[in-house]
Amino acid sequence: MRSSSLLRLVALAGATALSACATVSPETVNDRVNPEVPLWFHRPIGAMTVEYDRTITADSRKVGEPWERGRPEIDVARRRVFIGSVDHGLYALRAGDGSTIWRFETPSAVQSEPLYDPEMDTVYFGSHDGALYCVAASDGHLIWRYDTGAEVAKRPARDGEMLFFANAADNLYAVDRRTGKPKWAAHRQSALGMEVAGYAGPTFDRGLVYAAFSDGHVMAYDGRDGSEKWAPVDLAADAEQGGETVRYLDVDTTPVVDDGPSGRVVYVASYAGGVVALDAQTGARVWTNDKAVGVTDLLLVREPAHRSKVENDPNAPLVPERKVLVASSASSGLWGLDPQALGRPLWRNRVPEGGITAPAYVAGALLVGTTRYGAFLVSPINGKVIDGLDMGGGFAHTPAAYGTRAFLFSNSGRLLGLHVAPPLEPIQAELRALAR
C-alpha cells in the first residue's frame, strides 16, 4: 500500500516543527555564509514516500510506557529485515512488504540492535532477559544463548570467529560466534546513581575492541585476549572539576573510529563533558567539543564528492568529499560537527521537547525520529529539514536504511517501509512527464 497522499498532508507540518527549532549562532555555518550547495539543495517536499505501514507489536503484550527502542537490521541479499519488539519477540520480515517470515519469543522485551551474519546466515540479538541469542535467519530456530544477568541491547561487533558485546552492567564479553562459548570478559564498576538510561556498545577496529562505561571511562582491549591496551581514559574528570554538581558522568555512545588529520581517532561522547576525539593507539585526547552535551549517539557521515549544481553541469566546480560527525542529544539537539576541524559546530537543530533517535544515512540525507514530532529528513551539511512525517505514536527506535529504502518502527508498534527520493529523482521525473 502506498501512502504518499497521507504523507504529503503531514509532511509540511512535521518539517516546520523541527525547522522552527534550528538555531544559528556565530559559530554555526549555514547556507547563508556557506556558498557550497549540499546534495539536497532543492529540499523537495514529498521526498519520503510510505510504501507500506504494518502493525507488528501485539497489543496484548504491551506493558507500561509504549516505547520501542533498538534498530532494524537489514539483510540486503535476501531482502529481510530483523527487528525486536516490547512484545518479547524478534521478527524476521520481508523487506518488500513487511510481512512476517518468523518470530522468535524471549522471556522479556527485545529492545536491541541485531547483527546479521551473512556467512552463517544467523542473527545475533539481545533481550532484556539478560541474554544474547544466536538464531538461524532462515527459520528462527535457536542455535545458542549466552546469559549475562543484565539487559543486552547494543549491537554486537564481530571479528572473524569472535563476537564482542556489552550489557547494561558494564560488562564486555568476547564469545565464539558459532557456539557462544566465552573467550574473555572485562568489567568496570558501575557509577551507581550517576548514569542515565542507556549504555555504549563495542567497536572493533584493527585488532582492538573499544568500549565505554557508565563511570565515564573509555577503554581499548586486545581483541584476542582482552588485555588492556590503554590506560583508562576518564572523560568525566573535566566535568567533575567544574565546581557544579554533575549528575551524569557516563559515556553512552558506541565509539566511532575513523582516520583524522593526524592519524586514526576514536570519537565518543561523555553525557556531561561533550564530544571527544581520542588517539586510537594511545587514548590521548585530540580535541573536545564541550558544548554538545547530553549526547547518546554518534554517526559519522561521509558525503561523496559532487558537482555544486544539482543539474550536474560538467563545468560546475567540484565539491570535495567531506565528513560530518552527527551527534544526537535529547537535551541540546541534533548537532553536525566538523571532525577534521577540532569538532567545530557546523549546525544544530534543537528539539523542543521529548527525545531524538540516532540518525540513519539514506540517499545523501539524515533520517531521524523524534518521540513527539514524527520523523524528519535532514541535510547533513547545513542541518536544514528536507521533509517530515508524523504517523502518530512518535519514534524512539533508530531508523535503518540501505540505498533509497528506509525502515522506521514507531512507539505504537507500526513498521513503516519508506522510499527516499534522491535529489535528482523528482526533477528527472518531472522532465520525463513533460517529454511524454
How confident is the model at residue 424, as a pLDDT?
58
134, 143 contact by CB (below 8 A): yes
How confident is the model at residue 249, as a pLDDT?
72
How confident is the model at residue 261, as a pLDDT?
87
Express the helix, strand and coil content of the chain in percent, nearest 5 each: 10, 40, 50
170, 213 contact by CB (below 8 A): yes
229, 208 contact by CB (below 8 A): yes
- Angstrom distances, CA of residue 224 to CA of 8, 221, 380: 52, 9, 37
Cell numbers representing residue 246 in the block = 554533575
What is the chain's Cα-based Rg?
21
Burial of 245 (0-12, 13-18, 19+ CB in 10 A): exposed
- The partner residues of 174 in beta bridges, in order of sequence, read 164, 184
How confident is the model at residue 191, as a pLDDT?
62
d(CA 216, CA 25): 29
**Phi and psi at residue 234, in whole multiples of 5°?**
-95, 105
Cell numbers representing residue 378 in the block = 535532514
291, 276 contact by CB (below 8 A): no
Give 39's DSSP letter: T
How confident is the model at residue 33, as a pLDDT?
35
Q: How many CB atoms lie within 10 A of CB 291?
A: 15
Placement of cell 576541524 in the chain: 341
Would you say the pTM of this structure is higher than 0.95? no
381 alpha-carbon distance from chain centroid: 18
Its sign, for the CA torsion 286, 290, 296, 299, is negative
Phi-psi region of 75 (alpha: psi -120 to 50; beta: other; left: phi over 0): beta
How confident is the model at residue 5, as a pLDDT?
37
How confident is the model at residue 62, as a pLDDT?
63
pLDDT in tens, the chain (436 residues): 344 433 433 444 445 456 544 543 434 434 333 445 556 555 545 689 999 999 998 876 666 557 899 999 999 999 999 999 999 999 999 999 999 999 999 999 999 999 999 999 999 999 999 999 999 999 999 999 999 999 999 999 999 999 999 999 999 999 999 999 999 999 998 765 445 557 899 999 999 999 999 889 999 999 999 999 999 999 877 655 555 554 567 899 999 999 988 899 999 999 888 999 999 999 999 999 999 999 999 999 998 777 765 555 677 777 788 899 999 998 899 999 999 999 999 999 988 788 899 999 998 899 999 998 899 999 998 999 999 998 877 999 999 999 999 999 999 999 999 999 876 554 444 444 444 4
d(CA 52, CA 89): 21
- The partner residues of 125 in beta bridges, in order of sequence, read 133
d(CA 317, CA 372): 41
